[in-house]
Structure 1
């Protein structure tokens, strides 16, 4: 008897246990007529890496490789697990493919529907278009943040950075912070004035409001996770904020700023305040002149 239905679920990457957010990185479709699995996934994880720092890329790719391997093994076996639908696919995946053990990868959004006369290839294309949004583009983001950093460094030089011998303990470029798990977080500049202030530009001149919110969540999660290091090492995280040009994005930008302001040990410097901030930095690090 023809079963004439398909079931699909989405493979999601969840970066932090503290944040209820995830990114679609794969989709698994099971076609009951042919008992065939179709597993499509991101080959380079570009969507994940453009939103989050310190992504465990090798670990994720190994999980995906194992998922693909075990799906092929079970596809060749006929047993009482088949045919699968949204009621038992979840149990099948957790028992044989990807255990629910709190890893960064999770299968979710299970749904079963009829083929309705469409081909399996057509169903695959429709589902892929539905569950995968365009990657967040790097172009605007990469243009704004280097510009913010360049403007800051130019201001520092204009206010006398090169006119004195600054103590390396009070002014450091390319500072690396290592947290308790051994993960590295890179900051462009660090300067001392009682606390060690780690500087990072964060540009929000993106194409869509969703991108602004994703980036805010990313930074919120990162600096929330680094609160312990800030307390123990007397750190402050100075984020140079780049604003969006489109007025349509101001509402999302305001929400992003309010979110970042909730994190302890984070100070936000508007790009329009860079000159005053640069003078403050020079004043502090110049105290080491002999």
Structure 2
């Protein structure tokens, strides 16, 4: 009869309501060999970037505790005999108590021992469930407000045959609506029938909530500036960057629709920077 082993995935339930579950560890135990192995990623930066509220320090303390427990169990062969027919109880009683907290082990699964090299098995299961953490992250310059302004300025300079625009961009236009204490800065303005006030608005963000909040803020700001736009025949040209995460595209589209509903607002997305800078250069020549 072939030997067997059991395994279970340590999971962090980030949101019970939304069903967001993150695999953060894998536990394997081998009853006949009286061995238990716990593997976990050394780097958790990817989760921390996706979920700023992720309790990394707390999770790492659990990693240390479970590792210490497995080291103790590997010195107690009788423990494996005690739970030989009850692998779930082994997990609940000896490794991590099952409760309503966010950190839980998945259901126990059983597999046939296909090699005597237990380390090789643990390596394979680590790659299967946790290799995500060790993949090299593709570096990408964040397309924030500063990036948008620099890209617009670069394209504008090219079309104006190298004419320096540094002074214009280093002295942003400040608008102070009458009767208020508010002030709004625009890094550039140009005239072409209308007075076009240029402002970068980046949605290259990590969270859907952040996109919604930023859209609401800009909706309120440009609604408030409508009297200024009417008085000065002005238009607000927003240089916009979309999020890197494709899962946020829907939230991004909703954000643009909300802002575009305000009169006197023109959206200029990144792929429109060339044509927009060409129109601007024609007006400035």
TM-score between both structures, scaled by the size of structure 1: 0.55
1:152 pairs with one of 136, 148, 151: 148
**Is the 8 Å Cα contact of residues 35 and 83 (structure 1) preserved in structure 2?**
no
Matches of 1:115 and 1:239 in 2, distance apart?
55
Looking at structure 1, the residues matched to 64 and 182 of structure 2 have their Cα atoms a distance apart, in angstroms, of 45
What's the offset of the Cα at 1:165? 5.1
- Report the Cα distance in structure 1 between the residues aligned to 2:103 and 2:250, rounded to whole angstroms: 29
CA contact (8 A) 1:4 1:114 kept: yes
Find the structure with the greater CA-based Rg.
2
**Shift of residue 242, structure 1, vs aligned partner:** 4.5
Deviates more, 1:153-162 or 1:49-58: 153-162
CA contact (8 A) 2:26 2:40 kept: yes
Q: Deviations over 1:195-252 (max 9, x none)?
A: xxxx65427xxxxxxxxxxxxxx623x559x97xx89xx89xx983146xxxxxxxx9
Give the Å deviation of 1:108. Answer: 1.4
Q: Considering only aligned residues, what root-mean-square deviation do their CA atoms show, in Å?
A: 4.6
Secondary structure in 1 aligned to 2:26?
strand
Name the CA shift for 1:201/1:7 in 2 (closer, same or farther; >3 Å): same
The match for 2:125 among 111, 127, 137 is: 127
Which residue pairs with 2:4 in the alignment?
5
Number of positions where the alignment pairs a residue of Structure 1 with one of Structure 2: 218
Tell me: CA distance 1:242–1:14, structure 2 relative to 1, closer, same or farther (3 Å). same
Question: 1:133 aligns to what SS in structure 2?
Answer: helix
Give SS of 1:29's match: strand
Q: Is the 8 A contact 1:26 1:40 kept in 2?
A: yes
* Cα distance, 1:200–1:128 mapped onto 2, change above 3 Å: same
Matches within 5 A, 1:84-163: 84=84, 88-135=86-133, 137-140=136-139, 142-143=140-141, 145=142, 147-154=143-150, 162-163=171-172
Q: Is the 8 A contact 2:40 2:130 kept in 1?
A: no
Does structure 2 conserve the Cα–Cα contact (< 8 Å) formed by 1:6 and 1:114? yes
Structure 1 residues 33 and 47: CA distance shift in structure 2, 3 A:
farther
Mapping 1:173-212, distance limit 5 Å:
201-202=203-204
Q: CA deviation at 1:51?
A: 2.7
In the aligned structure 1, how far is the partner of 2:183 from the partner of 2:13?
A: 37
CA distance in 2 between counterparts of 1:59 and 1:106 reads: 14
Provide the secondary structure at the position in 2 that maps to 1:19: coil
1:19 & 1:239 partners in 2: Cα distance?
A: 30
Report deviation, 1:118: 3.8
For residues 41 and 105 of structure 1, the distance between their equivalents in structure 2, rounded to whole angstroms, comes to: 14
Aligned equivalents of 1:130, 1:79: Cα separation in 2:
28
Q: Distance in 2 between matches of 1:90 and 1:274?
A: 59
Q: Taking structure 2 as the reference length, what is the TM-score of the superposition?
A: 0.56
1:82 aligns with 2:82: yes
Distance 1:259 1:160 in 2: 31
Distance change (3 Å), C-alpha of 1:259 and 1:34: farther
Once residues 118 and 149 of structure 2 are traced to their aligned partners in structure 1, the CA distance between those partners, rounded to angstroms, is 56
Q: How far 1:267 sits from its partner (Å)?
A: 6.6
What is the CA distance between 1:148 and its match in structure 2?
4.0
Q: 1:121 to 1:105 in 2, by over 3 A?
A: same
Of 75-84 and 127-136, the range deviating more from structure 2: 75-84
* Gap change, CA 1:90 and 1:150, over 3 Å in 2: farther
Any conservation in 1 of the 2:73–2:79 contact (CA below 8 Å)? no
